[in-house]
Amino acid sequence: MKIGFLGAGKMAEAILASILDGGLCERWNVTACDVSGERRALMEKEYGVVTTADALETVKTCKTLIVAVKPQDLGSLVASVGKVLTANHLVISICAGKDLKSLRKGFGVKPRLIRIMPNLALRVNQGMVVSCAAPNAKPADKKLVKKIFGGAGKVLELEEKHFDAVTALSGSGPAFYAYCLKAMADGGVALGLPKDAARLLAEQTMLGTSVFLQETGADLETFIAAVCSKGGTTEAGMKVLAKSSVASAYAKTLAAAAKRSAELA
């Protein structure tokens, strides 16, 4: 199988690394196409894949294509390759906000289409990937998507109507969690902790909490209540947090990201 990346930026790199790590494809069977000479040089040096600036050549060589340009660059990409795509091509798009209808309009009716929303945590094999397939995608295409992304995180198939919310929560989510993590670490520094120690404590606590909750499947409110022993330190902090506007700020943050995702369509 030959896989072509149309756009070889940060997300393409994360996906490529997991494909190579998982032995899904040999490096010489992967083409990274990017208009940036810097990105091509990096892809060649770090991963030893074939690189080109020629999207048309990539489409001719590879039947599985991962579209990883920024949404605003999709139009020019489509203009250069749209007409040569065939029913033998599987096009997997990770472009935020670009729905199957608009992808179909650009890439034409022939190629099989799957829309994906990944996140950057793919890079450390802890990614969250949501997929939805166009009606012409075959069961084998869906299986391939699970194989490509499953080695680097969890893959969930959802109806496309949820994609703006998915984009906000898991696509943009790493930045929102990092913001929260920074606030926790800064709070630790304000209490006198060294900066590095505060960051480690905040990171490991976020990771441990997340793994604990996922492994036990504990109800979130029950878990919070269990940590807040009566008259204890967590309860004292939680009283302040519960009265603050943090929860509504997160709801508004996700709503703004979801709105932007809808606008990008």
Residue (of 106, 89, 105) closest to 144 by Cα position: 89
Q: How many residues appear in the chain? A: 265
Regarding 160 and contact with ligand NAP (CB under 6 A), the answer is: no
Regarding 36 and contact with ligand NAP (CB under 6 A), the answer is: yes
Among 89-97, 127-135, 180-188, 241-249, which window interacts with ligand NAP (CB under 6 A)?
89-97
Regarding 153 and contact with ligand NAP (CB under 6 A), the answer is: no
Q: Which of 234, 253 has the CB closer to ligand NAP?
A: 253
> Is-contact 142 133, C-beta < 8 A?
yes
Regarding 228 and contact with ligand NAP (CB under 6 A), the answer is: no
Report how far apart, in Å, the C-alpha atoms of 245 and of each of 62, 186, 250 are.
50, 18, 9
How many residues contact ligand NAP, by CB under 6 A? 27
Q: Which of 36, 205 has the CB closer to ligand NAP?
A: 36
Rounded distance, CA 24 to CA 147, Å?
8
Regarding 68 and contact with ligand NAP (CB under 6 A), the answer is: yes
Q: Which of 39, 89 has the CB closer to ligand NAP?
A: 39
Q: Which of 95, 165 has the CB closer to ligand NAP?
A: 95
Among 29-37, 136-144, 152-160, 197-205, which window interacts with ligand NAP (CB under 6 A)?
29-37
Regarding 151 and contact with ligand NAP (CB under 6 A), the answer is: no
Rounded distance, CA 97 to CA 177, Å?
21
Rounded distance, CA 121 to CA 219, Å?
24
* Shortest Cβ 122–ligand NAP spacing (Å): 9
The correct pick among 9, 108, 127, 153 for binding ligand NAP (CB under 6 A) is 9
Q: Which residues pair with 64 in a beta bridge?
A: 3, 90
Distance of CA 160 to the CA centre of its chain: 16
* Shortest Cβ 77–ligand NAP spacing (Å): 4
Which string of x and - marks every residue 237-256 that binds ligand NAP (by CB under 6 A)? --------------------
> Is-contact 208 216, C-beta < 8 A?
no
Rounded distance, CA 170 to CA 163, Å?
10
Among 111-119, 149-157, 219-227, 243-251, which window interacts with ligand NAP (CB under 6 A)?
111-119
H helices of the chain, in order, are: 10-21, 37-47, 55-61, 74-81, 100-107, 139-150, 163-166, 173-190, 195-216, 220-227, 233-243, 246-264
Q: Which amino acid is present at 232?
A: G
Q: Which of 15, 134 has the CB closer to ligand NAP?
A: 15
* Sites of contact with ligand NAP (CB under 6 A): 6-7, 9-12, 33-36, 39, 55, 68-71, 73, 76-77, 94-96, 117-120, 171
